[in-house]
Amino acid sequence: MVRLAFFDMDGTLCAPRFYVNGKTLHGMSDQEWLTYCEKNGEDGYRFCKPVPMVTEYAQGLKDRGAKLYVLSTSWTEWEDAAKRKFIAQNYPGLFEEVRTVRGDAEKLPMIRETAEKEGVRLDECELVEDTYSTVLAAIVAGIRGTHVSHIYCNLG
């Protein structure tokens, strides 16, 4: 049974979509991203879209008793604020909390720490992610790692 589930945001809960200088972008360079976040503040994700299949999957886990967290790598407080606003608007009431880390390598330590605090075993934790190397690292660590492309297989 999954008791704690952690969902990545960019590319998992959120289809990236940004408008810059009249153009629609689905991504940008690291430096452009820092500038974009600083300029747009908490509205940085206003053109991004939620992902229905991931929503359905998350709701199913919650219905079966799991606590859900957003676990996202974010570089700045502006990006943190934008992510929190996107989740509040698009997934109201679904997640316990939005937790941000400053690098992907911090995701597994954050899962371990949360599991320990909640008294949950690692094999009762699930990470849903679109970065395959992070999914594999979770699996190696004894956590259920689900790549977003496998959600369809797990539904129904």
CA-CA distances (angstroms) from residue 155 to 61, 150, 152?
10, 9, 5
Q: In whole angstroms, what is the distance from residue 124 CA to residue 14 CA?
A: 24
Nearest approach in angstroms of CB 51 to Mg ion is 11
Residue of 130, 139, 141, 144 that binds Mg ion (CB under 5 A): 130
CA 12 from centroid of its chain's CA atoms: 6
SS3 category, 13: coil
Pairing of strands 23-25, 18-20: antiparallel
Q: Does 60 bind Mg ion (CB under 5 A)?
A: no
Nearest approach in angstroms of CB 9 to Mg ion is 7
Q: Does 104 bind Mg ion (CB under 5 A)?
A: no
Q: Name the residue nearer to Mg ion (CB basis): 54 or 66.
A: 54
Scan residues 8-47 and list those touching Mg ion (CB under 5 A): 8, 10-11
Please give the size of the binding site for Mg ion, defined by CB under 5 A. 4
Q: In whole angstroms, what is the distance from residue 62 CA to residue 128 CA?
A: 14
SS (H, E, C) 81-117: HHHHHHHHHHCCCCCCEEEEECCHHHHHHHHHHHHHH
Q: Name the residue nearer to Mg ion (CB basis): 49 or 121.
A: 49
Nearest approach in angstroms of CB 5 to Mg ion is 15
Q: Name the residue nearer to Mg ion (CB basis): 85 or 131.
A: 131
Nearest approach in angstroms of CB 50 to Mg ion is 14
Residues that bind Mg ion (CB under 5 A): 8, 10-11, 130
